[in-house]
Structure formats: C-alpha cells, structure tokens
Chains A and B, each alone.
Chain A
Amino acid sequence: METITNIQQQKEAHNDRIVFGHQVYGLVGAQMAFRVELLVGFDALIIDASDPDFTRLAIRKIRGHYNPELYLKPIFLINHRQVRDTLIDSLHDGILFSYDHLAEVSKKVDEMFMLSTQLDQHLPTNYEAQVFKKVLNFMFTRGRKVFTPLLDVNSVIGYSYPELSVNFERQEEAQVLDILDWAEKEGLIWPDFHERVYLCNNCSGGYLSYREVCPHCHSSNLASQDLVHHFPCAFIGPISEFKNPVDSTLSCPKCNKQLRHIGVDYDKPSVINKCNNCSSSFQDMFVKAKCMSCEQDTDVQYLVSRQINTYRFTKKGRTAAVNGFFSSSADTEDIFGTVPLETMRVMLHYAMERLKRIDGLRTNVSVLYIENMYELVHRMGTRSKKPLLTELVNIIHETISPQDFVSVETGMVFYMTLNDMSLSQAEKIVQGLDLKLEQALNKNFNGFKASIRTNTVALEPGIPVADQLQKLSQALYADR
C-alpha cells in the first residue's frame, strides 16, 4: 500500500494525477473539465468539490458524455461541502475526506472496472435505445436497480432521474420522460406511481406560474368583491355600491335603507370580479399557467400531464446491460423523400420478380449506417433529428438516380436501391455518398467526426428479400 507521503510526493510531481498502486487518478481541474476527452486515460477521477458549481459542471460533462470510457469512469469528490445537489449527490462514486482514503476506494474502482468489462458492447441502432443502454451500463457498474425521481430545482420538469437526466440539457430534460416511456414499452422497466406533473405544452417546462386571469383580456389585474343582496327590495350588486362614502355603513342604492344585519336583511350570495384592465365583470376567472422558461401563457387544460414514476428493472432490464437487448420499436421517421422500410421490402420483391423475367436487369441494395448519429442528436436535441435526417436524405437523393428510393430505419440507418447498374458501380456511388455525407456532417458540426459504414449487395433472384436485407445488415455490423 502506498503511504501518504508517497501520494503527496506523486501529486506534487504530477499536478493532474495521483498514482496509487496500479491505478492512476485524474484530478479534474478547470481546464480538464472543459476538455473531458483528456480524462479517458485515467482509472478514476477526483474532483475538488469545494466549488459546487464547478463540481456540477464537471460531473455533467463526464457523465453526460457518450463515450463509455468517460461516462463510466469512477468519480470521487474531495473537499466536498454538504450542499444539496441532486445531480452531484447521485452521480459521484464516493467522497474522499483526504487522499489517505484512496486505499479504501481503490477496491471499488477495480470492482467497477471488472463490471464494465462484462457490458455488452453492441450499440443499439435507435436513439432512445442508445441513451437507455448508456444508463443501463452506468447503473449496472454501480449496482443500482431502481430509477428514483428526485425533486430537483435545477431540473426544468422539477424532477430528475440523475442517471438519465445528466444526458440532457436543461431545456431538453422532458425527453427523460419520453425515454422512460419508451423503456417501459420495451419491457425493460416497471413503473410505480410517484407523482404527476404538468408541463408547458411549448417547451415542456415544469416551472409554471398559475394565475387567475380575466376571461376576456387574460389580464391578471383583477379585483374581487362580494355581491350583496338586499332582501326587502331585491337589489343585488357589488358591495362597493352599498358602501357609504362618509362612514363605513352599508346602504342600499335602490331603496336607501341602511343594511344592518347579515342574514336578516341582507346576505352575500356570491362574489364578482372586475378586470382593472378591460373593465369587464365576471364570476368565473380563467386559470392560466405561465411558463417561467419560455413565457408561454397556456390555459391549464392544455398543459401536458405527465406521470412521474419510480422505475424498477424488469427481468429483461436486469440482464440488458450484459446481454444487450433488441428494440422492438423501430422509430421509422416520416421523412420527406423516403418510403417506409416495409414498402421498400415490397418494392424489392417486385424488382426481384422483374429480375427473374427480364435478362440484363440489375438492382442493388445499399445500407448506410451513421454509427455516431446519436452524438449529433444528443448535441442538437431530438427536435432537430427530423430536419437533420431530411437534410441527409436530400444529399442521398442528389447522389442516386431519381428512380431509386430511400428508406430510413431507426434514425441512423439508410437503405437505398441502386437500379440499372453493376454492383461495382453501385459500390462506387455509395463510397462517394459516404464521403459526401461525412464531409457535410464534419463541416457543419464543429468537432464531430462522422463514423459511417456502408455495404452494398446486388439483389439476387430466388433468395427472399428479407434474407438478403438481413445479410446486408449483418455484414455491416460484423466487425463491431
């Protein structure tokens, strides 16, 4: 075991790391926190938590990264102050009271590493599955079995599931609920009701200011007063009309009699509200909710009601981190210029029939897989996913012939037909397309390096279309 003196010496020698036995601990400073990719080489990370804002930022950067070598990294806090922060509290792996405690946590670091080696390495092919797989990996290596919603003032929806929420920017955090809904439908998790929240229908923000407003002009500048019914003359009106300007007595404006005894000669059967903005009078006020994030003023009935659940892993969910899982719901997008995959299968079947009958006809099928599309979606937000895919499909159509068609599967796999050309010609076109897309993506998204895989086959008469497509995809994933 290393001595404290040794640690101190090594810390002094290397300002950004501590070597403890076979483990190297990275010390996360301000510079490191902004370039988290540099932290990949460490076995574990230590964050000086004296500044909660910095700690939060650093943890978000690390745990929110798409690279498993980063987001699974054990994180320990030193100089931690007891400041309640849901994200920090849930996503670190331990608190060091001094560097002397490294001896105690080193075993934990090894355990986490061992568990991480058991993880299924396949990356699912749809966005939700990729995000959820990442969370599964994290929870598996930490032995966590329950997704617990925590009240979180930093969360735009008011609740956070830290392991999942860390992957989203504040304004995108409502997606957490979508991902959990997806996982529930996939049978990976099981919900137990916890709470219900109402979210803005524009930005999904949960910080809403509920106000009673005028039903006509929607101003909240309202004044309420009692209605007074004078029994003897049946006059009824707001109490201000009964108030005597000289003293505090009430007199009926219709019969001039003084009101003496509530319940005997008068009562207050209701209230009336007056809008100081438009001067209208009414009894039933509207209730509107103003979103503190986007300032959208919404009728409460149009707020989005979402259930906040505590989730337990199902049997499938418990083993998914190690065994992987197959998503049954492919998020086929309705992208302009594409046909659904099912339609493509039917069209390929007809093409194959034509190939059987007419000599010399050739049809090729290509698949193009943007492996790290998830990174882009994560960076831009899911709302940008459809425009991005549309743009990519446009680039594909510019390259292929007008009679060829394209299909998108899971938001990152593109199938296309290439008719009336040899396989080698088709492969050449697809290679060109690969390059074109890569350039377009890398140029438009700063720091992004597109990883694209392609495969092309010639459609063979006599072999079922489904088998040929399967073969096409298998070849694509074979070396992963």
Chain B
Amino acid sequence: MKFLDEFFNYIHALDFDKLARLFWYFLIFEFALHFVFDLLIVSLWRFVKRFRQDRIDYARQALFRSRPLVSIIVPGKNEGENIYQLVTSLREQSYTNFELIVIDDGSDDDTPTICRTLKKNGLIAMYLRCDVRGGKASAANLGLRYARGEYIVHLDADCSYDHDAIENILVPFFYDSDIGAVGGNVIVRNYQASVCTTLQAIEYYNTISIGRIARSELGIYRVISGAFGAFRRSALVAVGGWDIGPGLDGDVTVKIRKLGYKISFEPSAVCQTSAPKTFKALIKQRLRWDKSLVRFRMRKHRDVFYPNETFRWSNFISFVENVMYGFVFNIKWFVYLGDMAFNFTSTLPFIILMNFLMYVFVNYFKFLFFSLLRDRKNAPVYYFLPYIILIVPYFNIFLRTVRLIAHFQEIVFKASYNDPWNPSKSSRYAREMKL
C-alpha cells in the first residue's frame, strides 16, 4: 500500500515536461504512431469501405463473369497429414475454378501415398514430387512452373480456409488492375492450446491484421504471408518466382512492388493457422522472421533507398517504416530502458508500473475497439480479455528481445544463411551471391 501511495503521489506530481521525459517512448512510438495512427487509418478504412462497396461488388461480379483459372500451389515437406484437411476446406470454396497443385519437397513419410490417393480421387489436380529436398522456394517455383492459372494462390498445408477465402482474395485483382498481389488475413486456429497461442492470437488480431489493413490503405504493405497469398501470375513470372528463404514471402512481395504493382491486404480472405504452442518454438519462428528484415530490407533490397531509375516513394516509405518500426524503434526501446535505468534509478519501479498500466490500457482499448471493426472472429472477445495484461510483457520484453537477438545474429553472423529451414546446398549460394 505504501508503494502504491508513493506511486500515485509520484505520478500526480509529474508535469507535462517530466511526463514526456519519462514516457517518451510510449508517447511517441506506442501511443502516437502505433495507437493513434493505426486507429485513425483503420477508422478511415471502415468509413471509406462503405463507399467502395459498389465497386467491390462489381469486382466480385467481374470475377465470377470471367471465372479465371486459379492455381493453388501448396509446397511442403511431410505435410501429408495436413493435406487432407486442406483439401476438405478447399472443396467447400465458393470459388471453384481452381486447380490444386501439391509440391512434395522430398517428404520421407507417408505424404506421397496420401497425395497420390487424393490425386487418384480427383481431389488434387497435380502432385509434383522432388525426391530430394530443395527448399520451399524451389518447391513453390516448381508449382509455379506447371501452374496453368491466371492467378496463383500460395497456401500452407497446415492451414484451413473460410469457404469464401479464395473468392475474397481474388476480388481485389478485379477492383484494381494495378494490384499484383493480395495478402490474406491469417488468424490463429489453436488460440486455446496454450498461453503462448492465446497471446499470438491477440497479436495477430491487434497488430498483424490491423497493421496490415493500415499499411495496405497507405500503399506500403510489404509482406504477403506464405500461409495465404494470391499473385497475378504474370507478376510472379516476371520476378522469377520465389528466391531462397527464409523470409521468401516478404522478398517476393518486395520484388513485385519493385515492378510497380500495388500490393493489397484483404481482411475478409480468412485463413486459420496453427501457431507455435510453446515459447521455445515461437522463439525459433520469430528469430527466422525477424532476421529477414535485415537480410532482405537492409541488405538484398537496399536499392529501394537509392534514388535510381526504379525508385518509388511508396517502396521507400514502406521500407523506411519497416526498418524504423522493426529495427530502429526496437533498439530505441532498449535505449529507453537504459535511459530510465541509469537516469531514474530511484524511481524506476514507478516508471515501469506506469508504463505497464499505460500499455495495458492502450492494449485493452485497442483490442475492444478493433474487435468492433472486425467482421470475422473465430473466438469470443471475452476469452482474450484476461490475457491482455500478459500482452504487455509479451510484446515489450519477449518479442522485442527476440527481435534484437535476431537482428544481431543476422547483422553480425548472417545467421539466416545457416538456418536449417532452407537446405544448406542452396543457402551457401545465397550467402555467396548476397541474395
């Protein structure tokens, strides 16, 4: 009680200058940029969406009038068990003119038997198998090579899709002919499996989906998830398909952006994925994701920052925003922590508590407000409410630390080239060729 009394007295005594000095990180980056900015953009999106509805309906009609063939490609290794569930969810799709191409990247389990059986029963149009693992990029490229569709939809085998997901992800192509690729909305299917998956579900709701809506509206959306993305075939072929990963999803999106195409996010094209159940698995996944920021944004595609003939402001801003949020602000957070620890050592507990409360408040507000805007929910809002408190350490300590480690590993050791996610035979070349 004494601590709380002291805390309230301390906070009460703060004037604006002092407040800004002590909580500069929260006020500038979290509140102003993350919260207010996202809130404004998403509210604007909801407002504008009403006026776009006629055009969206027209685009939907155009899609069903022309009924283009869509090639759904599913690369993967040892995904046999997931393929059946995937095929089942695809059979329910409202858009039916698609061919399903499964690319088996050197599976050593029952995948070939399962896939051949499904193909025999007409549930898979094409089953392509590489006896030796070549990596996800080469598997996807093999699918692209034999795809006949005008549009290519890239899926992960362990995901399932809303019955109108394929239809919804195709509509933007008919809405705007400059759109080269569309990202689907990925939500967490196993949100009840563990605290870890619940926190990820909140993250996907609050940050990933909302962030992508905002960036898409601003024309700076840059990562189409490998779990669910649709591409104009001509655009994909023009960029030579996928390059070696990890991080190939963001890489291919950037390559398409560089060709001058727009990239769009479609919140109504919903895909459910299984998130890592343990923090250990999550760390592994996020280290891989976060390394790609350094590898692709700051290394492979650094030419986006240069004023050359392919320079585009939208790409430049997209990259600046990405690097700022993902890299600079992350470092700033630790700078902020150091600043507080060194300069305000005696009042550090009050500062941490105040930060915590502000973050909790903002996160609750964001979650509830964005929940009102979301059309598609796969879980009741109340289920997540008790966990919102945990989001604060999850975001600010866990994810930021993982991100920092990932960036350090990639900058100093180029660790992504040693990631077993990609076979070493191709990673070695990617490293040599600075890909």
* A residues at B contact (CB < 8 Å): 227, 229, 231-237, 254-255, 264-265, 267, 269-270, 272, 281-284
Indicate whether B71 reaches chain A with its CB closer than 8 angstroms: no
Q: Do residues B141 and A234 form an inter-chain contact, with CB atoms below 8 A?
A: yes
Q: Chain A nearest CB: distance from B432 CB in Å? A: 8
Q: Do residues B138 and A235 form an inter-chain contact, with CB atoms below 8 A?
A: yes
Give the contacting residue for A254; candidates B131, B142, B241, B426; CB below 8 A. B241
Indicate whether B128 reaches chain A with its CB closer than 8 angstroms: yes
In the A-B complex, the 6 residue pairs with the smallest Cβ-Cβ separation, listed nearest first, are A269-B130, A234-B137, A232-B429, A231-B426, A269-B132, A234-B138
Residues of B within 8 A of A270 (CB): 128-131
Indicate whether B326 reaches chain A with its CB closer than 8 angstroms: no
Do A237 and B145 form a contact, CB below 8 Å, given A227-B130, A283-B129?
Answer: yes
Give Cα distance in the complex from A282 to B145, angstroms: 12
Do A269 and B433 form a contact, CB below 8 Å, given A231-B426, A235-B141, A283-B129?
Answer: no
Q: Do residues B128 and A283 form an inter-chain contact, with CB atoms below 8 A?
A: yes
Residues of B within 8 A of A283 (CB): 127-129
Q: Do residues A269 and B131 form an inter-chain contact, with CB atoms below 8 A?
A: yes
Q: How many A-B residue pairs have CB under 8 A?
A: 73
Residue of B nearest to A263 (CB): B425
User: In the complex, given contacts A236-B141, A237-B141, what are 13 additional A-B residue pairs having Cβ atoms less than 8 angstroms apart?
Assistant: A231-B425, A231-B426, A234-B137, A234-B141, A235-B240, A235-B241, A236-B130, A267-B132, A267-B425, A269-B131, A272-B128, A283-B129, A284-B116
Residues of B within 8 A of A235 (CB): 138, 141, 240-241
Residues of B within 8 A of A269 (CB): 106, 130-132, 134
Give Cα distance in the complex from A265 to B244, angstroms: 14
Indicate whether B367 reaches chain A with its CB closer than 8 angstroms: no
Q: Which of B106, B119, B141 has the most CB of A within 10 A?
A: B141
Residue of A nearest to B424 (CB): A231
Give Cα distance in the complex from A229 to B242, angstroms: 13
Q: Do residues B243 and A229 form an inter-chain contact, with CB atoms below 8 A?
A: no
Give Cα distance in the complex from A270 to B135, angstroms: 14
Give Cα distance in the complex from A267 to B132, angstroms: 9
Q: Which of A234, A235, A237, A282 has the most CB of B within 10 A?
A: A234
Residues of B within 8 A of A229 (CB): 130, 132, 134, 138
Give Cα distance in the complex from A231 to B435, angstroms: 12
Residues of B within 8 A of A267 (CB): 132, 134, 425
Q: Do residues A236 and B142 form an inter-chain contact, with CB atoms below 8 A?
A: yes
Q: Which of A236, A272, A281 has the most CB of B within 10 A?
A: A236
Give Cα distance in the complex from A269 to B128, angstroms: 11
Indicate whether B153 reaches chain A with its CB closer than 8 angstroms: no
Residue of A nearest to B427 (CB): A231
Give Cα distance in the complex from A237 to B129, angstroms: 12
Give the contacting residue for B430; candidates A227, A232, A264; CB below 8 A. A232
Residue of A nearest to B142 (CB): A236
Residues of B within 8 A of A281 (CB): 146
Residues of A within 8 A of B126 (CB): 282
Q: Do residues B134 and A234 form an inter-chain contact, with CB atoms below 8 A?
A: yes
Give Cα distance in the complex from A93 to B243, angstroms: 79
Q: Chain A nearest CB: distance from B246 CB in Å? A: 12
Q: Which of B127, B129, B242, B426 has the most CB of A within 10 A?
A: B426
Q: Chain B nearest CB: distance from A251 CB in Å? A: 14
Q: Which of A233, A235, A264 has the most CB of B within 10 A?
A: A233
Give Cα distance in the complex from A283 to B142, angstroms: 12
Q: Do residues B130 and A232 form an inter-chain contact, with CB atoms below 8 A?
A: no
Give Cα distance in the complex from A255 to B240, angstroms: 9
Q: Chain B nearest CB: distance from A227 CB in Å? A: 7
Can you spell out 15 A-B residue pairs with CB atoms less than 8 angstroms apart? A231-B426, A231-B429, A233-B244, A234-B135, A234-B137, A234-B141, A236-B145, A237-B141, A237-B145, A254-B240, A255-B240, A264-B425, A270-B128, A272-B128, A283-B128
